[in-house]
């Protein structure tokens, strides 16, 4: 169902009930761009820490607009043995709802816009008929303003936006308006003597309306109802109605209801997100970190500085998340799915050993046809994301004893994937762990190298040619990470570089330390973000205290416990899901395809060892990750108590046939749930 | 004529010849927003200096996109006694033309977008079919790149974007690509032995193409033509063609021509602007400062820091400009035209004493009907801007002796308006003088006041209540200019405020001095602009030396000499022309319509005296402005030697009947041309 400002109110109940009845729902967003700073390959450096990645995305991606939001709800029909889907495709636009409302600015990135245009994206629908929205602060502000105005009207002291605290007396009417105001008073006096009940004044300026309100409230404290009305041409004029006390009350009541309705209209699309949060339903997305960040940023609150705070807000807004790109990149799927982009994934989960899920579009909803790809329409992308999730979940069910063809979205089989968001292109940290600490891989084989800006990847290959295979992760024009294949080479490289003039080498640890010191210094010097200084992508409302919107924390549910996963990062074209047509390497960043090349090598060389180090270092997190790497999903129990998950050290050695690669396994420690097999 | 990427090349000759044959042309731009910083009332403070205004617009308006450009050419047909018009409406969008081209980001302002949407603006046309463009630096860069690549191809050393200086030898083929490359070599070798002439390799990555180029150039320096070709699906593959020397040359030649054509396509809409510059024709616009700034910024070069440099670039790009809003706000029109917004002006110049100009749309062009307003379509706005100019110019002709019904665009009658751009909402400086120093009004009756952010305009009125009528010009949340009606009150106000705690008062001179000191300090500390640091709205190309594009200065014509004008600033809804629906006062800026009110008062109180001071202070500029304020346009000579312009002191006392207001006139000094009567 396509939802714009024109049918939003009429559709809202359908949206609410779809969410309420759903087993799970899938979402997807389309944005006006990806990065306003570095290009994508620098934005997603292979050796980012989760904090760095979050900070970069927050800084460089949040001033774009999420202008299309897809939701597809999935409800399992036991009798039909199929999912009933309700896809919604919302067009969203921050149309200012009145003269004092925030006038948001957002960025468009030409390549993203061009890409969406080439996919037939309808910009006119967004800009002409997009549904407005408010974040929680704005909503609170607006409700307070409305309340305040109403109280002041009721007390007969005029409209608050015009009244300064110092002028409670009769209105100060400037000389040049005195004639005009006197004429108005004359007309109103006539209203009391003749048979007319209503007096429509001519359209006039806001300043004149202010004067009229003040004057009439002062001169005629009783017997009049005064209201601003808009003509079809959007001209505002004042309507004066002669009323008795009862009618005055009735009219005030009606006005209040209209005002409430107007506030609700202004909150607009945010109401849908509130409903999702409240439902606590599983929300599935594909490579969904940016979707989640944008959703919170646009419809809840400005993103917190700190990653830990972001995780907490995320759990409030989306109590349960699942990222199909992470799922597809994780064992047992990793071996079967070579390309985890949404479009490719959708094709692959139709083929054996997967089964296309049985789905049916609910009556009254347009059904999407996956044969006619409508990729990058958010509603369609949400729909196929849900399909991918179902296929993969059901595939996991085939390992149960007895095998199950249908796996519910709350099954323990999929639980290990909850609340882990895919981290794109990070070599050794596959996901952001929303409900716990993140993996901390050792990076003592990594060097931070600075060099003249003429250097290209090949120069780095040459510089390190003595050390065999290396991986290069560009940071900017004059710096990159170089990962050596063996840690003990690091000291040799450091030594030989000591007297080099054209380049400089630091260990990863030194680099991190230096960066930390710089940040601490900056915090002392309190460099404010240049963006947002003058209300950028934030409303012009002043928010006295920064913090999460009222009521958000209350809505939190306990974080899902205990699962830990780990592995290497798969490199796929994930950004294409983010409306990025191609890795647009600019000359300056020298992404002469060596970058991707280096990354590809990185995966090859890190597939087995890389992960084990990570696993070790994350032991401190409570439940050790993936102890039994050769164990593939199987089970001898009813759904929800899958053996290999519960006690892999005991039952884990069956079903090795699915495994193609052997890895050195760390010691296994039993824990309640573990990621079945990662990477 | 509507021009998009789809018909641009086919239309270009029509555009060129329309410009070439035109007597003058009118332009108009539509932008994606106005201000990314302060709201419009703060952006256009009534007491800005021209430098301040330029700096603010440069800082806060240039990251928006000029996405529709209207040009209407006007050619006078003597035999028909009417103008033949050719209106063009161009959709413009910085579509990246290849993977290494700039990926521009631009800002959209919700209120502007919403306003354009309400006017039926077609965003899909912009984003799907907008004509690309390059500024001069980008064009030079692209031509150099193309040249370089061609030379390297010709020398058989591979493609420059992939080749690092250090690898002139055989390509270093990474292990995992060796098989692939060897297969390619095998296929190419077969090409030499069988009857096939052409070999299409499979689509592959850029990195693989690089390896293939390098390898083939090394292994088969002769006898092959190697080229990258794109499939319909935009996949790139390599085509290898077996050729003899002659055919190789021919193919190289064809390729060169294709490349030139591609570069021209990329330069795109900028070619139209170049043609206008080259033509030297009079370019008419309505409230055109932002149009001029955007045009230069987008199609020529980043705007210079300094206003004087901007004026020079402007004269290079548009050697002759005329602003109809300035014209309409100047005597004799000021008295007759109450609202100088384009829409209202267009209506008024149809009525007596004006005459609707006789115009005819050229064959093959869609004619606009002014009865069906298509306001805010750039082509239409350009068209009616031209109509307004003709009507006003012809009206001036009625004062000539003998009266002339047709005034050419190069007539001396309109010359006083050349190269003066309307400065919106500045109380005492009506225009930016592009070809000379700007007016420097005395502002010794102005105070700079800072106060707590709770203060509103009424608090300022109260504070200064002892001084009679004041004007308030808000600067930001906690500061404003307050203009007193008499200069000798300034010292009293300063004295009484000495011990005030909640507010602080400085004279205007002190304020300017402090600001200057701050700027000097900042320059020493070299705070770079936060915008543009990472290529924002500038291409990702690095520009080694900032400066005006080559060839720009050469194209300069001598600035038009000698005219000086002056007057008070009229306050109208000028921004509505800039797609700004309404003075969107945010709560924070407290534009509770007092702002407009204050401005309105400003005009009233400044109408006569204000100007004279300005006139005095600008005497130093060489030719004194408007000495004889009672003299109205008249003449006893043929067109081009209008008496009142040449020697107002001698002939100036005739024709007083047209004047409605008497003013105290300063002593008149003869000068070659003067503004007939300003304000």
Query: What is B426-471 written as a DSSP string?
Result: -SS--EEETTSPPP----TTEEEEE--TT--HHHHHHHTGGG-SEE
Q: Chain B partners of A102 at a C-beta cutoff of 8 Å?
A: 586
Does the structure show a pLDDT above 50 at A600? Answer: no
Whole-angstrom distance, CA of residue A445 vs CA of residue B209: 31
- Has residue B68 got a pLDDT over 50? yes
Q: What is the pLDDT of residues A303-327, one digit of tens each?
A: 999 999 999 999 999 999 999 999 9
**Mean residue pLDDT across chain A:** 78
Shortest distance, CA A80 to any CA of chain B (angstroms): 40
User: Is the model's pLDDT at A35 over the cut of 60?
Assistant: yes
CA distance B128 to chain A (A): 5
- Token pair in block for residue B155: 């020398």
- Minimal CA–CA distance to A294: which of A310, A309, A276, A271? A310
- The answer, yes or no, to whether residue B165 has pLDDT greater than 90, is no
Class of residue B433 by CB neighbours under 10 A (exposed 0-12, middle 13-18, buried 19+): buried
Q: Is the pLDDT of residue B382 over 50?
A: yes
Residues of A in contact with B176 (CB under 8 A): 601, 604
> Residue A268 has what DSSP assignment?
B
**Host H or E run for residue B124:** helix B123-129
Q: Could you tell me which residue, B456 or B164, shows the higher pLDDT? A: B456
- Region label for B428, one of left (φ > 0), alpha (ψ between -120 and 50) or beta (otherwise): alpha
DSSP B202: P
Mean pLDDT of B426-444: 93
pLDDT of residue B214: 84
Tell me whether residues B162 and A593 touch, CB distance under 8 A.
yes
**Virtual CA dihedral for B493, B494, B495, B500, nearest 10 degrees?**
90
Whether B396 and B88 have beta carbons less than 8 Å apart is answered as no
**CA–CA dist B649, B644 (Å, integer):** 8
Q: Is B318 exposed, middle or buried (0-12, 13-18, 19+ CB in 10 A)?
A: buried
CA distance A233 to chain B (A): 12
Q: Which of A212-221, B95-104, B191-200, B541-550 has the lowest mean pLDDT?
A: B541-550
Can you give the pLDDT at residue B646? 29
| Chain A partners within 8 Å of B588 (Cβ) | 535, 540-542
Best B5, B43, B59, B111 residue to mutate vs chain A (most A CBs within 10 Å): B111
- Averaged pLDDT for residues B439-457: 91
Note the pTM of the prediction, 2 decimals.
0.76
Q: What is the pLDDT of residue A130?
A: 97
Over the Cα atoms of chain B, what is R_g? 30
Confidence of residue A363 (pLDDT cuts 50, 70, 90): very high
The verdict on a CB contact (< 8 Å) between A601 and B124 is: no
- The pLDDT assigned to B556 comes to 42
Residue with tokens 């009567």: B677
Q: How far is the C-alpha of B21 from the C-alpha of B76, rounded, in Å? A: 10
CB contact under 8 A, A534 and B205: no
Quick check: A124 and B102 CB within 8 A?
Answer: no
Q: Do B107 and A111 touch (CB under 8 A)?
A: no
Q: Which of residues 457-496 of A touch B (CB under 8 A)?
A: 457-459, 461-462
Higher-pLDDT residue of B328, B458: B328
Which ranges of A36-174 would DSSP assign to H, the alpha helix? 40-43, 50-61, 110-118, 123-129, 136-154
B123 at A interface, C-beta within 8 A: yes
Residues 565-594 of A with CB under 8 A from B: 582, 584-589, 592-594
Say what the pLDDT of residue B277 is.
Answer: 97
Residue whose pair of structure tokens reads 């001209």 in the numeric block: A235
Query: pLDDT at position B210, please?
Result: 83
pLDDT in tens, A491-507: 888 888 888 888 999 99
For range B457-481, the mean pLDDT = 87
A469 vs B590, higher pLDDT: A469
Q: Give residue B486's pLDDT.
A: 86
Contact: B104, A95; criterion CB under 8 Å: no
Helices (H), A198-244: 206-219
Q: How many CB atoms lie within 10 A of CB B545?
A: 5
Q: What pLDDT does A536 receive? A: 52
User: Residues A46, A569: contact at Cβ < 8 Å?
Assistant: yes
State mean pLDDT over B65-93: 97
What tens digit of pLDDT does each residue of B404-434 get? 999 999 999 999 999 999 999 998 999 999 9
Is the pLDDT assigned to residue A592 strictly greater than 60?
no
- B102 touching chain A per CB within 8 A: yes
* Banded model confidence at residue A170, pLDDT cuts 50, 70, 90: low
Q: Does the distance separating the beta carbons of B108 and A108 come in below 8 Å? A: yes
Question: Chain B interface, mutation test: which of A124, A234, A573, most B Cβ atoms within 10 Å?
Answer: A124
Helix (H) / strand (E) containing B199:
strand B198-200
Comparing alpha-carbon positions, the chain B residue that sits nearest to A172 is B458
CA dihedral B204, B205, B210, B212 (to 10 degrees): -20
HSE-up of residue A173 (Cα within 13 Å, Cβ side): 20
Region A249-273: what's the mean pLDDT? Answer: 92
The C-alpha of A462 sits at a distance from chain B's nearest C-alpha, in angstroms, of 9
Distance from B36 to chain A by nearest Cα, in Å? Answer: 7
The pLDDT tens digits of the residues spanning A384-429 come to 999 999 999 999 999 998 999 999 999 999 999 999 999 999 989 9
Query: Are the C-beta atoms of A132 and A97 separated by less than 8 Å?
Result: yes
Q: With contacts defined as CB-CB under 8 Å, which chain B residues touch A465?
A: none
Minimum CA–CA partner of B457 in chain A: A164
Q: List B residues 597-636 in contact with A (Cβ-Cβ < 8 A).
A: 597, 600-601, 604
**Gap from B650 CA to chain A (nearest CA, Å):** 40
Residue A531 has pLDDT above 80, yes or no: no
Q: Do the Cβ atoms of B417 and B119 come closer than 8 Å?
A: no
Q: What is the DSSP string of B534-603?
A: T-TTS-SS--SS-SPPTTTTTT--PPPP------PPP---GGGGGT--S----TTTT-SSHHHHHHHHHH
> pLDDT tens-digit profile of A71-93?
999 999 999 999 999 999 999 99
Who contacts B431 (Cβ-Cβ below 8 Å, separation ≥6)?
Answer: B323, B326, B420, B421, B422, B423, B565
Q: What is the pLDDT of residue A368?
A: 86
Averaging pLDDT over each range in A106-115, A541-550, A562-571, B157-166, which range is the top one?
A106-115
Pick from A107, A127, A542: CB nearest B107 = A107
Q: Residue B223: what pLDDT? A: 85
Judged by a CB distance cut-off of 8 A, whether residue B94 touches chain A is yes
What percentage of chain B has pLDDT greater than the value 70? Answer: 74
For residue range A505-523, list pLDDT tens digits in order.
Answer: 999 999 989 988 888 887 7
Phi, psi of A432 (to 5 degrees): -90, 125
User: Using one digit for the tens of pLDDT, what is the confidence trace for B637-668?
Assistant: 333 322 223 223 333 334 444 444 434 433 33
- Is there a contact between B584 and A93 if contact means CB atoms under 8 Å apart? no
Give the pLDDT mean for B284-305.
97
Q: Please give the average per-residue pLDDT across A376-387, as a whole number.
A: 94
Highest mean pLDDT among A361-365, A453-457, B201-205, B521-525: A361-365
Decide if B117 and A127 are in contact by the 8 Å CB cutoff.
yes
**Residue A157 banded pLDDT, cuts 50, 70, 90:** very low
Whether B33 and A105 lie within 8 Å, measured CB to CB? yes
Residues 174-213 of A with CB under 8 A from B: 174, 176, 205-207, 210
CA B259 to chain A, closest CA, distance in angstroms equals 18
Contact assessment for residue B99 and residue A40, using Cβ atoms and an 8 Å cutoff: no
Q: Which of B167, B207, B587 is facing A100, going by the closest CB pair?
A: B587
Q: Does A104 touch chain B (CB under 8 A)?
A: yes
Strand-pairing partners, residue B473, are: B481
Q: Do B597 and A174 touch (CB under 8 A)?
A: yes
Q: What are phi and psi of A290, to 5 degrees?
A: -65, -35
DSSP A611-676: HHHHHHHTGGGSS-----TT--S--SSSTT--HHHH-HHHHTTS-GGG--S--PPPPP---S---S
**Count of helices and strands (H, E) across chain B:** 22, 17
- How many residues comprise chain A? 679
pLDDT in tens, B94-121: 999 877 788 999 999 999 999 999 999 9
**What is the pLDDT averaged over residues B296-318?**
97
Q: State the Cα–Cα distance between residues A329 and A679, nearest whole angstrom.
A: 7
CA B652 vs. chain centroid, Å, equals 37
Residue of B31, B114, B594 best to disrupt the A interface, most CBs of A under 10 A:
B114
Test A124 with B123 for CB contact under 8 angstroms: yes
Q: Which of A154-168, A419-433, B455-469, B537-551 has the highest mean pLDDT?
A: A419-433
The reply to whether B173 touches chain A by the CB within 8 Å rule is no
Closest Cα in chain B, distance from residue A155 (Å): 21
Quote the mean pLDDT of chain B.
78
Q: How far apart are CA B367 and CA B102, in angstroms?
A: 37
Number of separate helices (H) and strands (E) present in chain A: 22, 17
What's the gap in Å between the CA of B445 and the closest CA on chain A? 21
Residue whose structure tokens are 């098989």: B179
Contact of A308 with chain B, judged by CB distance below 8 Å, is answered with no
- Greatest Cα pair distance in chain A: 102
Which residues in chain B have their CB less than 8 angstroms from residue A32's CB?
A: 108
- pLDDT for residue B530 is more than 80: no
The predicted pLDDT at position A632 comes to 35
B195 burial via Cβ count (<10 Å: 0-12, 13-18, 19+): exposed
Q: How far apart (Å, rounded) are the C-alpha atoms in residues A156 and A217?
A: 5
Bigger pLDDT: B126 vs B555: B126
Identify which has the larger pLDDT, B555 or A25: A25
Other CB atoms within 10 A of residue A431 CB: 27
Q: Which residue matches tokens 């990065």?
A: A35
Q: Could A454 and B207 be called an inter-chain contact, meaning their C-beta atoms sit closer than 8 Å?
A: no
The per-residue pLDDT for A50 is 96
B369 falls in which pLDDT band (50, 70, 90)? Answer: confident
Predicted pLDDT of residue B664: 41
A440 is written with which tokens? 């901390």
A114, A172, A452, A532: best to mutate for the B interface, most B CBs within 10 A = A114
pLDDT of residue B358: 92
Read off the pLDDT band of B213 (50, 70, 90).
Answer: confident
The pLDDT confidence band at residue B574, using thresholds 50, 70 and 90, is very low
pLDDT at A155: 52
Contacts of residue A542 in chain B, CB cutoff 8 Å?
Answer: 588
In the predicted model, is pLDDT for residue B499 greater than 60?
yes
């Amino acid at each position: 169902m396509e939802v714009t400002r024109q049918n939003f109110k009429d559709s809202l109940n359908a949206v609410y009930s779809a969410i309420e009845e759903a087993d799970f729902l899938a979402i997807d967003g389309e944005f006006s761009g990806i990065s306003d700073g570095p290009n994508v390959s620098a934005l997603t450096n292979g050796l980012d820490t989760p904090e760095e990645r979050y900070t970069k995305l927050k800084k460089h991606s949040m001033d774009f607009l999420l202008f299309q939001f897809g939701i597809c709800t999935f409800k399992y029909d036991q009798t039909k043995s199929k999912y009933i889907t309700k896809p919604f495709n919302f067009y969203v636009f921050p149309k200012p709802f009145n003269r004092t409302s925030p006038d948001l600015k957002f960025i468009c990135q030409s390549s993203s816009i061009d890409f969406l245009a080439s996919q037939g994206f309808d910009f006119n629908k967004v800009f002409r008929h997009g549904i407005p929205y408010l974040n929680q602060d704005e909503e609170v502000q607006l409700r307070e303003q409305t309340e305040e105005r109403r109280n002041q009207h009721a007390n007969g002291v005029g409209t608050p936006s015009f009244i300064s605290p110092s002028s409670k007396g009769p209105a100060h009417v400037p000389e040049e308006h005195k004639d005009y105001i006197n004429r108005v008073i004359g007309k109103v006096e006539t209203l009391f003597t003749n048979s007319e009940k209503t007096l429509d004044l001519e359209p006039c300026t806001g300043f004149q309306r202010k004067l009229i309100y003040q004057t009439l409230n002062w001169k005629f404290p009783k017997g009049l109802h005064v209201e601003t009305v808009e003509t079809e041409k959007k001209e505002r004029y004042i309507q004066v109605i002669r009323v008795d006390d009862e009618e005055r009350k009735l009219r005030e009541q009606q006005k209040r209801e209209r005002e409430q309705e107007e506030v609700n209209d202004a909150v607009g699309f945010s109401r849908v997100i509130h409903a999702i949060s409240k439902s606590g339903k599983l929300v599935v997305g594909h490579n969904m970190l940016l979707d989640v960040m944008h959703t919170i940023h646009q419809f809840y609150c400005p993103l917190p500085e700190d990653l830990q705070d972001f995780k907490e807000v995320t759990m409030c807004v989306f109590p349960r998340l699942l990222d199909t790109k992470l799922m597809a990149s994780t064992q047992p799927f990793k071996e079967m799915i070579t390309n985890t982009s949404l479009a490719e994934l959708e094709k692959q989960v139709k083929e054996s050993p997967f089964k296309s899920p049985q789905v049916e579009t609910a009556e009254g909803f347009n059904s999407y046809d996956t044969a006619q790809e409508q990729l990058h329409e958010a509603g369609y992308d949400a729909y196929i994301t849900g399909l991918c999730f179902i296929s993969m979940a059901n595939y996991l069910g085939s390992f149960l004893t007895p095998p199950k063809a249908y796996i519910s979205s709350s099954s323990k089989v999929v639980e290990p994937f909850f609340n882990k968001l895919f981290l794109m292109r990070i070599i050794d940290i596959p996901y952001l762990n929303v409900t716990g600490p993140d993996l901390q891989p050792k990076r003592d084989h990594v060097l931070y190298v600075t060099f003249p800006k003429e250097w290209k990847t090949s120069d780095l290959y040459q510089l390190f040619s003595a050390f065999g295979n290396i991986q290069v992760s560009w940071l900017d024009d004059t710096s990159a990470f170089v990962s050596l294949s063996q840690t003990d080479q690091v000291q040799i490289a450091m030594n030989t570089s000591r007297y080099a003039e054209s380049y400089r080498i630091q260990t990863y640890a030194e680099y991190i330390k230096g960066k930390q010191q710089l940040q601490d210094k900056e915090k002392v010097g309190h460099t404010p973000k240049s963006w947002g200084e003058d209300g950028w992508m934030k409303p012009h409302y002043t928010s006295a205290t920064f913090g999460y919107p009222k009521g958000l924390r209350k809505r939190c549910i306990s974080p899902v416990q205990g699962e830990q996963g780990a592995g290497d990062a798969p490199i796929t074209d994930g950004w294409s899901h983010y409306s990025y047509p191609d890795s647009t390497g600019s000359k300056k960043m020298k992404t002469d395809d060596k970058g991707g090349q280096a990354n590809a090598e990185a995966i090859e060389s890190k597939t087995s060892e890389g992960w084990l180090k990570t696993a070790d270092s994350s032991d401190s997190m409570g439940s050790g990750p993936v102890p039994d790497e050769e164990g593939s999903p199987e089970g001898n129990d009813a759904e929800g108590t899958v053996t290999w998950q519960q006690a892999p050290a005991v039952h884990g050695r069956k079903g090795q046939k699915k495994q193609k690669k052997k890895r050195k396994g760390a010691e296994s420690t039993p824990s309640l749930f573990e990621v079945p097999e990662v990477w």
